[in-house]
A = this chain, B = another copy of it.
């Protein structure tokens, strides 16, 4: 049997998905609007106990049409598992569309029109679920959360909140010259602090587990698989695997922006 995400048939999500903003709200010079919005991952049935705010969808997410399914997703899925949360979560992003260019994300971090639609989702999710903890991944998600907290609906939230370093922080730090080992150790130290802060406030875990911290290196045991129940029906299992399977490709920036190559990982091909 193959579990799957039933998607957005239920209100208020059906209405939210019907009314998504486009390039009039997300300027195409700063966002890859041409790939369409990617809305969420996780439960939309009112059973979420943890609400997660990520940043923006990348190439894998543009194909799987759910957020946080690539390497970042598997790392963070492991964090949730350490909290005993295997299915009772829902994730949305700061931005519906993939950020294009280095400054697009920051430039729009206080954009009220972009925030309005995001706030409608946060209103819906905090009303529809008994949220015990909100987790923001990265500083843009942290800003998004605080913007919502300043709204009338947001002031009513009474659960826990934690801002974590983004799961791909070590990768982006290394890309700008940082020591990758130290960057990973910094991520894991930050996440250990987050575990300490959150483990006790998750009073309805899916599987109660004693708190186990990360070491200074990320191990295979620290990752968790993206559940089949999180993706649309029929998507192959390798779209949830630990191998990269989607990449932008092109000789020019315009072609690279317009092209995603989807490749079945070699070990998942028919023999």
- Residues of A at the B interface (CB closer than 8 Å) are 1-4, 6-10, 14, 17-20, 23, 28-29, 33-39, 63, 65, 232-236, 238, 249, 254, 257-264, 266, 268-270
Contact = CB atoms under 8 A, between A and B. Distances in A.
Contact of A268 (B29, B34, B37, B249): B34
Contacts of A8: 4, 6, 233
- How many copies of this chain sit in the oligomeric assembly? 2
A7 B232 contact: yes
Contacts of A6: 7-9, 14
A65 B28 contact: no
Given A1-B18, A18-B2, A238 B34 contact: yes
Contacts of A235: 36, 65
Contacts of A264: 34-35, 257-259
Contact of A258 (B3, B14, B263): B263
A8 B3 CA distance: 11
Given A234-B65, A258-B263, A259-B262, A34 B2 contact: no
Contact of A34 (B7, B20, B270): B270
8 contacts: A6-B7, A7-B7, A7-B9, A28-B270, A34-B268, A232-B232, A258-B263, A259-B262
Contact of A23 (B14, B258, B270): B270
Contacts of A33: 270
Given A23-B270, A34-B269, A35-B236, 7 more contacts: A6-B9, A18-B233, A34-B236, A65-B232, A258-B263, A258-B266, A261-B262
B37 A234 contact: yes
